[in-house]
Amino acid sequence: MKFTTKIFADGADKAGILEMDANPLISGFTTNPTLMRKVGLTNYEAFAKDVLSDIKTKPISFEVFSDEFEEMERQALKIAGWGDNVYVKIPITNTRRESAVPLVERLSKAGVKTNVTAMMTLEQTEAILPALASSPAAYISIFAGRIADSGVDPMPLMKAAMAHLEKYPKVELIWASPREVFNLAQADSIGCHVITMTNDLIKKIPTFGKDLDLFSLETVQMFYNDAQAAGFTL
C-alpha cells in the first residue's frame, strides 16, 4: 500500500485533523469555508491559529473569503503570516467570473505560497501557471471529483495538467474533491503530486488490495448482522 501521490486530509475539525496528523499516510491538510461552516466554526483566525499550534511543519491551506480582489489580497497576506507551512487558497475567479490571475501573480512575487482552487478546465490551468512562476511554492487544485459529477472523465484533463507542470517545478497538482478511494489509485497512476481526501475516505484506504471473495463475504455478514440487530420479521 505505497503511493507516490501525497495525501492531504481535507477537513475543518481540529480533533479530526490531529487524528490524521498521527496517520503516517498523511502529508498535509486543506480546509475551506464550507467545511468550516459545516462544523459550526465562527472565528476563522482563532481556529486557524489553534490548529497551527499543533500543525507546525506539514503544509496546510486556508482560504480567503472575500469576493473583491483588493480584500482577497489583504486577507492573503495576513493568512500567509500565520506560518511558514501555510498556503493561501485563492479561487480561480470571483463570483463574477473575474480572473484571479493578476492577484495570484502579485502574491507570488510577494513570496506568498498559494493554492489556486476551484479549477476545472485546462484553460484555467494554462492561464494560472505563468502567474505562479515566481512563487516560492504553490499548488493548483483541480476539482476532479466535481468534473466527474458532471459526467466528464477527469483523467485526460489531469494528465494534460501534469504535462503543463513540467515547466513549473515549484507548482504541484492537487487532485481535489475525490468521490471514492479509487481516485487515489487514479491520481497515483498519472504521478499527480497530491490528492485531498476526507477522513472517511482516508479510513477506507486499508481496503486496497483486499481479497474480493472475502470482501463479499464480509458484506453478506454485515447485511445479516444488521437485519438481526434490527429485529426484522416477515
Q: What are the catalytic residues?
A: 89
List the one residue out of 87, 191, 193 whose CA is nearest residue 136: 87
d(CA 165, CA 119): 15
Q: Which three three-digit cell numbers place residue 152?
A: 466528464
d(CA 12, CA 178): 17
How many of the other CB atoms lie within 10 Å of CB of 2? Answer: 5
Strand pairing partners for 7?
Answer: 26, 195
Q: What is the DSSP letter of 99?
A: B
List the one residue out of 37, 23, 29 whose CA is nearest residue 10: 29
Q: How far is C-alpha 196 from the chain's CA centre?
A: 4
